[in-house]
Structure 1
Amino acid sequence: MGRLKHSGHRFTLPQGGASGSADLNMWQWILPFAAPQWPRFAAVALLSLVVAAAGLAQPYLSQRLIDDGMLKGDFDTVLVCVSAMVALAVACALLGGVTRYLHTHASSRMLHGMREDMFKHLLTLSPHYFSSTRQGDIHTRLNADMAELQRFVVDSVFSVMNNTLMFAGAVIMLGYMSAELLAVLAAVLLVNAVFLRMARAHVERLSQETRERGTDIAAFLMETLGLVKCVQAFNGQARSFADLIRLHERQRVSSLKLQVVGYAVGSLPALVMSVSIALVFLVGAQRIAQGSLTLGVLIAFVTYMQRASAPVQALASLYTGYQRAKVSVGRVRELAQECPLITNTASARAVRGRGHLAIHQVTFAYPGSNRQALRAVTVDIPAGSRVLVTGASGSGKSTLVDLLQRHFDPDDGRILLDGVDLREHSLEHLRRRVAVVSQTTELFSSSLLENIRYGRPCASDDEVCLAARVAGVEAFAKQLEHGLDTLVGQRGSRLSGGQRQRIALARAILLKPRILILDESTSGVDSAMEAQILRDIDALFAGSTRILITHRPVVAFHADRVIDLNETGAGCLQ
Structure 2
Amino acid sequence: MTSATQASTADTLRQLLPMTKGFRGSLAGSFALRLVSQATGIAAVVAGVLLVAASARGQVSVWTVGLVLIGLALVKGLTRYGEQYLGHRVAFILLARLRVRFFASLLPQAPAVTSRSGSGDLLSRAGRDIDRLEVFFAHTIVPAVSAVIVSVGVVFAQWLLTGWPAAVVVAVGLLLAFGCAGLGLRGEAQTASEGARLDGQSAQFAAETMHALPDLRGLHAIDRRLGRWHQLNRRHADIMRAEQRLGRTRRALVTLVWLLTVLASVLVSTADSHGGGLLQEPLGAALVGAALAFSAFAAPESVVGFVNEWRAVQAAALRVQATITREPEVTFAAEEPPESSAAAAESGDRGAAAVIGPLVYRHDAVGGAHGPQLRVPEPISVEAGSHVLVESSSGSGKSTLVDLLARVHDPDSGSVQIAGRDLRELSRAELVRTVAVVDQSTFLFDASIAENLRIARPDASDDDLREVCATVGLGAFVDSQRQGIRTRLGRGRGCVGLSGGQAQRLGLARALLAETPVLLADEVTSQLDARTADDIRRVVLDPASGRTVLWVSHRDDAWNGPVVAVGETGVVRLVAADDR
- Name the TM-score, length of structure 1 as normaliser: 0.86
| Residue 213 (structure 1) shift | 3.5
| Residue 342 (structure 1) shift | 0.2
Cα pair distance change 1:277/1:57, threshold 3 Å? closer
Match of 1:465 in 2: 466
3-state SS, counterpart of residue 33 of structure 1: helix
1:174 aligns with 2:158: yes
Match of 1:6 in 2: none
The CA distance in 1 between the partners of 2:65 and 2:130, in whole Å, is: 46
The CA distance in 2 between the partners of 1:294 and 1:459, in whole Å, is: 88
The CA distance in 2 between the partners of 1:372 and 1:101, in whole Å, is: 56
The CA distance in 1 between the partners of 2:330 and 2:336, in whole Å, is: 12
CA contact (8 A) 1:358 1:415 kept: yes
CA contact (8 A) 1:45 1:158 kept: yes
CA contact (8 A) 2:181 2:303 kept: no
1:53 aligns with 2:39: yes
- Structure 1 unpaired stretches of 5+: 1-12
Cα pair distance change 1:74/1:38, threshold 3 Å? closer
C-alpha RMSD of the superposition: 3.3
Determine which of 521, 525, 546 is the counterpart of 2:524: 521
Match of 1:119 in 2: 103
Give the stretch that moved more between structures: 44-53 or 279-288: 279-288
3-state SS, counterpart of residue 379 of structure 2: strand
Q: What is the one-letter code of the residue matched to 2:357?
A: H
1:367 aligns with 2:368: no
1:90 aligns with 2:90: no
Q: What is the one-letter code of the residue matched to 2:216?
A: V
Determine which of 290, 309, 324 is the counterpart of 1:336: 324
Cα pair distance change 1:231/1:335, threshold 3 Å? same
Match of 2:287 in 1: 299
- Name the TM-score, length of structure 2 as normaliser: 0.86
| Residue 313 (structure 1) shift | 1.6
| Residue 538 (structure 1) shift | 5.7
| Residue 286 (structure 1) shift | 6.1
The CA distance in 1 between the partners of 2:152 and 2:544, in whole Å, is: 77
Matches of residues 200-349 of structure 1 in structure 2 within 5 Å? 200-284=185-269, 292-345=280-333
State, as a whole percentage, how many aligned pairs show the same letter.
Answer: 26
Determine which of 343, 353, 356 is the counterpart of 1:356: 353
Matches of residues 418-429 of structure 1 in structure 2 within 5 Å? 418-429=419-430
Cα pair distance change 1:255/1:177, threshold 3 Å? same
| Residue 390 (structure 1) shift | 2.4
Matches of residues 133-152 of structure 1 in structure 2 within 5 Å? 133-152=117-136
| Residue 346 (structure 1) shift | 5.8
3-state SS, counterpart of residue 388 of structure 2: strand
| Residue 405 (structure 1) shift | 1.1
Match of 2:480 in 1: 479
Determine which of 490, 507, 525 is the counterpart of 1:504: 507
Cα pair distance change 1:118/1:539, threshold 3 Å? same
| Residue 39 (structure 1) shift | 4.2
| Residue 451 (structure 1) shift | 1.6
The CA distance in 1 between the partners of 2:356 and 2:515, in whole Å, is: 23
The CA distance in 2 between the partners of 1:333 and 1:311, in whole Å, is: 31
CA contact (8 A) 1:356 1:418 kept: yes
1:189 aligns with 2:174: yes
Q: What is the one-letter code of the residue matched to 1:338?
A: R
The CA distance in 1 between the partners of 2:491 and 2:15, in whole Å, is: 35
| Residue 110 (structure 1) shift | 0.6
| Residue 483 (structure 1) shift | 3.3
Match of 1:29 in 2: 15
Match of 1:387 in 2: 388
| Residue 64 (structure 1) shift | 4.5
- Structure 2 unpaired stretches of 5+: none
Give the stretch that moved more between structures: 383-392 or 512-521: 383-392
CA contact (8 A) 1:373 1:394 kept: no
Q: Deviations over 1:129-168 (max 9, x none)?
A: 4234344333322222222223224321111233233322
Q: Deviations over 1:479-523 (max 9, x none)?
A: 345433333327999321100101101111121111122211123
The CA distance in 1 between the partners of 2:544 and 2:455, in whole Å, is: 20
Q: What is the one-letter code of the residue matched to 2:192?
A: S
The CA distance in 2 between the partners of 1:82 and 1:155, in whole Å, is: 32
| Residue 67 (structure 1) shift | 5.1
The CA distance in 2 between the partners of 1:457 and 1:223, in whole Å, is: 32
Q: What is the one-letter code of the residue matched to 1:571?
A: R
1:550 aligns with 2:553: yes
| Residue 212 (structure 1) shift | 3.3
CA contact (8 A) 2:354 2:381 kept: yes
Q: What is the one-letter code of the residue matched to 1:29?
A: Q
CA contact (8 A) 1:473 1:506 kept: no
CA contact (8 A) 2:372 2:396 kept: no
Cα pair distance change 1:360/1:17, threshold 3 Å? same
The CA distance in 2 between the partners of 1:285 and 1:63, in whole Å, is: 15
Q: Deviations over 1:288-313 (max 9, x none)?
A: 99x94354443332222122111012
The CA distance in 1 between the partners of 2:66 and 2:234, in whole Å, is: 55
Cα pair distance change 1:511/1:31, threshold 3 Å? farther
Number of residue pairs the alignment of both structures matches = 555
| Residue 408 (structure 1) shift | 1.2
| Residue 284 (structure 1) shift | 4.9
| Residue 363 (structure 1) shift | 2.8
1:572 aligns with 2:574: yes
The CA distance in 2 between the partners of 1:154 and 1:284, in whole Å, is: 37
